[in-house]
Structure 1
Amino acid sequence: MLSLTKLLVIACASSFLIVAGEYIGYRAAALQYHSFDDITGGGFAALQENANEYIKYIEEASAQGAQILVFPEHGLTGLTLGSTLEEYFAQTQVVPDPEAREVPCDYTDVPESSLIMHQLSCEALKHHMYLVVCLAEQFNCSQVLSEDESYLQQSVDANDMPNGCEFYNTQAVFDDTGAVVARYRKKNLHNEPHFIAGTDPDSSAVFEASFGVTFTLLISFDILFYDPAVSNMESFGVRDVITSSGWMDQLPFHVAPQVWKGFSEGYQANLIAANHYNPMGGFLGTGIFRGVASDPDEYTYDTSSGTKLIIGDILTHAPVSPRNNSTSKSERALSHNTAGHSSLHLMKNKDSMEHDSQEIATGKSKKRPERRTEVNMHQKYLHEILDHYDYIILNRSKSGELVQETLIDHEHSITCMVTYTYPPGGSEDFLYMLISYAGLTPHGNFTYFLYNENCGVVLCLNENIESCAQIEGAYLGDSTFRPYELQGHFNGPYIYPAILTDTVQLFNSEWWNYSLVQEESGYRATIHIFEEVNDVLTLGLYSRLFSKDPEEMQ
């Protein structure tokens, strides 16, 4: 049974205070799904095949008591979208306006363009469960479908459709009566020529469930932007976020669970993330991240996992509209602690750093088994180009003494500092660098540029910064490097901790703490490490300055 306690949330992402009352408990599920992608038998046949598989997992989630189930991006269509209008139309569905509260299960004489919606609506009704389904939506296209055969053999260009026909990458939400209660059209596309960007208000991504929880939606790449999720959290006090993702991993700061965990911690929000499964395509991972109550996360990031359902209980609170307040900066300092440690406990851990380092030097610290890890080659990773980053090589220390290194970017007013020990011994196959950067970074093969302020410690194979996080196929032995604290000073409050082990897993939630403090000249973000962690790949702080994005990205 979920415990009920009172919660005071002081939002770090803006100067507003949210005071919540009793916790609300609910049970959620997210599906990592390996889609059927073969459209040689027709686009609708593939759509139906995937819908049939969805129904099996709806039944499984229902049997385990889930009240809401989230499906990934591209799950219904698969990753192969039709190249001609005829092929592509067969993969799309009509999504009714949520204002009408239509129940597609009630449709009779159902055309193919509504058949999958009809089937899923009936499943939601049958199992009294909310379903969040991402699909290719056709809107106002009936006249185009009446065109002659030769026209329908043309290639798809969503930005050049006649007669007002539009295609969207859309999340449709069915409530527990089968009604469509939300329709969010993806705003921030990522090399998706089959779709146009949604222009509906951010509030179109918000819905309230019958079990008392208000959610906001987003689709994959949206998570790096202000709209819709951050906007809705700030405007409506929402703290439960759902993402349908087809996330392609990028080292060192943008691996799927790393991004989701950072978002959840950075905003003290719950995040339910469903992702496509295709490791060799770069898609992997699904999970439930409990940033509101700082409970442990449940996630999968395993190349051998295949389609997998993640189910777990979540504590949240009823949203309260943000209100301006005159709280001091010290009162707005928020300690985000995944293990529920108090601030006093946090300071005690910080004060004990010297004692811990002495234990390492005298051999009294906990011993870890020797290991040599080969990073799994069955997963594709993209890599951020790091040659524009400032960096310092973190040298080994004498007798396990504490060392601090600092990078200061005077031009952009950001500072990055790490406290660590790095006694002799352990593997010399690799080293660590402290890196920082402020400026535009490319995404989508240099199609999109977003403004970041980044600070982090990264494992590198040699003294060339381009070797950092290039771990595919590398054999990594034990390291004696142990971080205690990473601190960054940034110009904006939208900051996310980005942490990974060298086996590309999240740190244990009980090992670390994240805090953010507003200061006169900016924002100070800190990651504290409580336990001995020798297997670091990335220990980072990833910050977004939305106002400095290029105009076309805002």
Structure 2
Amino acid sequence: MPRVKETGRKMLFIIAVVSVYLASVISTADSSYVAAVYEHKVILNPDPRTPMSRHEALQHMQKNLDIYEEQAARAAQQGAQILVFPEDGIHGFNFTRSSIAGYLETIPNPQEESWNPCTEPERHNNTEVLQRLSCMARRNNLYLVANMPDLQPCPLKTSPTSTCPPDGRWQFNTNVAFRSDGLLIARYHKQNLFFEQSFDTPPEVEVITFDTPFAGKFGLFICFDILFHDPAVVLVEMGVRQLIFPTAWMNTLPLLDSVQFHSAFSLGANVTLLAANLRNDRLIMKGSGIYTPFSATYHHAWKGDPEEGRLLVARVPVLEPLEVKQSAAKEVEAGGGESASSVATDSGRCHQDSCDDHSPHSVHPSHPTFISSMMYDTFTFVLLNVTQGDVKVCNGTFCCHLQYRWLLQDHKELYALGAFAGLHTVDGRYALQVCAIVRCGGLDQSSCGQEVEEAESKMDFLLEGNFDTKYVYPSILTSRMFLEQPESLEKAADMRVTMKHSNMKSGLVTACLYGRMYHLDNE
């Protein structure tokens, strides 16, 4: 079972279940490294739609860079070897295409040119931000990743036949990575923009990595990219197991809170994710973390907490690709004990071999279903209003199955199991298959799917979905935005995914299997 260590709002979960489904770890003498992410309370331009001179834009950006300097020094003092800052953390957001002009720097392509901005500042004009970031990495002897706006001439050398924007230049939302001596080693242009009128979508998807001596290869992507196949899943399927994720994430419950989904991606994709978010309470931006398939070190501010930055530092294992691809993932529980496929039932526990067939294809007692909107999608729900139960709900041909037993049931709280399969079309277009246990907003079934942040009720459960995709991201979010690591997970050869959990520490807000049908996004 997970053990919880809490210091303020910083949490570390250690999972006591080891599964072939999870990542393997390099078995060398030094198979870990120290990572840091900084959640930044960005100092914003109060009038981002009005153009600024380069001098004025630099004055603004230096205020955020001053904070970066302080945090880089703090991270280095704690032994960090790599430090990640958030998306938009230097310049802010809500610019127009013209008003961001003073903030732009032309970032050379490290694949074509070797340049250390700190030691060779005169090589490129108007690169003050690059120079300062480079010197920050060099001074603190750590790898550093930050996000900034990039200006590139058109046509691009990497895509000479692409159609130029009307104003004849490219403007990109960009990650830059620096080696510990200040050398610029990577540049990534964000592929999946989220209502960012100041930036262009790159004409070709960029799959960008860089190498380190302490953890091998890292991959880069940004914020909304995490919901799409390119480049995030491309990196994973290339075998990249350390991913860097600057973000300006606006939390959306019940399914897409920052720590909830970022940890789910880490677990579902079998990777380490270094996620650095902004802190802006007005826009519900909060929640950063260092996530591995085994643990999560994260910070998620709660109501009334000071609106301030937060540095997270953690030692994490170096992950390597699994060498053996098995047709079905089997689980091993640490310390032996009962089978990992055991579930809660009327008699308390049963083993798979001695239980009835509880697969999604078996016959279940009929339970009344109802329709309610969750995250702007039409879910089919069934209520979970008995002490223990075995229920199934389908949305079209996609079905979710739940065995559950309440450990603590607050009768002022209503819960439901929901299923959805279809194309999400609000604030983005992406195809989903989702199984979710949710606490409803009130005691009426029409409130199921509403945003909820707190809960008292706890259950043991086994949640299963018969997915048509191998890309499934599991999460358990409890009261006040605490994570719990699933007790066990299993992916079967037929793409059935099972998540089991028991002895919850806090009230359940959402337990979710979030499946992405990437191949249907454009249908």
TM-score, scaled relative to structure 2: 0.81
Shift of 1:135: 0.8
Q: Distance in 1 between matches of 2:192 and 2:74?
A: 32
Amino acid in the other structure paired with 1:434: L
Code of the residue aligned with 2:116 in structure 1: it is: V
CA contact (8 A) 1:440 1:450 kept: yes
Q: Residue 343 of structure 2 contacts residue 349 of structure 2 at CA under 8 Å; is this kept in 1?
A: no
Residue 462 of structure 1 pairs with residue 434 of structure 2: no
* 1:465-519 alpha-carbon deviations (Å, 9 max, x no partner): 44433337xxx6743x513211111001000113211322212x3x622221122
Match of residue 466, structure 2, among 466, 489, 496: 489
- Three-state SS of the structure 2 residue aligned to 1:453 is strand
Query: Among 499, 504, 511, which residue is 1:527 paired with?
Result: 499
**Cα distance in structure 1, aligned partners of 2:492 and 2:201:** 35
| Alpha-carbon spacing, 1:212–1:189, altered in 2? closer, same or farther (3 Å) | same
* SS of 2:318 mapped into structure 1: strand
1:26 aligns to 2:33 (yes or no): yes
CA separation of 1:434 and 1:212: change in aligned 2, threshold 3 A: closer
Who is 1:518 aligned against? 493
Tell me the amino acid that sits aligned with residue 415 of structure 1. C
Alpha carbons of structure 1 residues 54 and 315: separation in structure 2 relative to 1, 3 Å: same
Matched, 1:433 2:412: no
Secondary structure in structure 1 of the residue aligned to 2:91: coil
Structure 1 residues 30 and 500: CA distance shift in structure 2, 3 A: same
Q: Write out aligned runs for 1:358-369 (5 A).
A: none
Given the alignment of the two structures, is residue 198 of structure 1 paired with residue 197 of structure 2, yes or no? Answer: no
Do the aligned partners of residues 135 and 93 (structure 1) sit closer, same or farther apart at CA in structure 2, a change above 3 Å counting? same
Q: Is the 8 A contact 1:39 1:45 kept in 2?
A: no
Task: Tell me if the contact between 2:21 and 2:489 (Cα under 8 Å) persists in the aligned partners.
Answer: no
More helix by share: 1
* 1:199 CA drift (Å): 3.8
2:142 alignment partner in structure 1: 129
Q: Give the Cα separation in 2 of the matches to 1:543 and 1:318.
A: 24
For 2:210, the equivalent position in structure 1 comes to 207
| Superposed displacement of residue 96, structure 1 | 1.3
Structure 1 residue 21: Cα displacement: 4.9
User: By how many angstroms is 1:114 displaced?
Assistant: 0.4
Matched letter for residue 507 of structure 2: D
Which residue does 1:71 correspond to in 2?
A: 85
CA contact (8 A) 2:25 2:31 kept: no
Q: Could you tell me whether the CA contact under 8 Å between 1:27 and 1:311 is conserved in 2?
A: yes
> How many pairs align?
464
Amino acid at match of 1:268: N
User: Is 1:93 the equivalent of 2:105?
Assistant: yes
1:372-421 per-residue CA deviation (whole Å, 9 max, x = no partner) reads xxxxxxxxxx97124x1111111223xxxx41101134x43x22011112
The Cα of 1:80 is off from its aligned counterpart by 4.4
Question: 1:198 Cα shift?
Answer: 2.3
Instruction: Mark the CA change 1:280 to 1:184 in structure 2 (over 3 Å): closer, same or farther.
Output: same
Q: Are positions 1:389 and 2:379 aligned together? A: yes
The question of 1:173 aligning with 2:177 is answered: yes
Structure 2: which 5+ runs fail to align?
Answer: 1-17, 156-162, 351-372
After superposition, the Cα gap between the structure-2 partners of 1:456 and 1:129, relative to the gap in structure 1 and judged at 3 Å, is same
Q: Deviations over 1:127-185 (max 9, x none)?
A: 2211101111111289xxxxxxxxxxxxxxx984433x110000000011211111110
Answer yes or no: is the 8 Å Cα contact 1:420–1:482 preserved in 2. Answer: yes
- Pair 1:542 & 2:514 matched: yes
2:300 match: 301
Contact 2:225 2:231 in 1 (8 A): yes
Please, which runs of 5 or more residues in structure 1 have no aligned partner? 1-7, 143-157, 359-381
* Seq. identity, %: 25
Equivalent in the alignment of 1:333: 329
The residue aligned with 1:49 is 63
What does 1:147-546 correspond to in 2, within 5 Å?
160-163=165-168, 165-203=169-207, 205-235=208-238, 237-291=239-293, 294=294, 296-303=295-302, 304=305, 306-318=308-320, 329=327, 332-333=328-329, 335=331, 341-342=333-334, 345=337, 347=339, 350=342, 356=348, 384-386=375-377, 388-397=378-387, 402-409=388-395, 411-412=396-397, 414-422=398-406, 426-444=409-427, 448-460=428-440, 461-471=442-452, 478-479=456-457, 481-507=458-484, 509=485, 512-519=487-494, 523-532=495-504, 535-546=507-518
Q: Are residues 302 and 346 of structure 1, via their aligned partners in 2, closer, same or farther at CA, if it must alter by over 3 Å?
A: farther
Q: CA deviation at 1:45?
A: 1.7
Q: 2:330, 2:340 → 1: CA distance?
A: 17
Alpha-carbon distance, 1:256 to partner: 0.3
Contact 1:9 1:20 in 2 (8 A): no
Q: Distance in 1 between matches of 2:382 and 2:240?
A: 40
CA distance in 1, matches of 2:326, 2:288: 38
Report if aligned partners of 2:215, 2:318 keep a CA contact under 8 Å in 1. Answer: no
Q: Is the 8 A contact 1:497 1:542 kept in 2?
A: yes
Partner Cα separation in structure 2 for residue 84 and residue 202 of structure 1: 22
**d(CA) in 2 for partners of 1:178 and 1:477?**
47
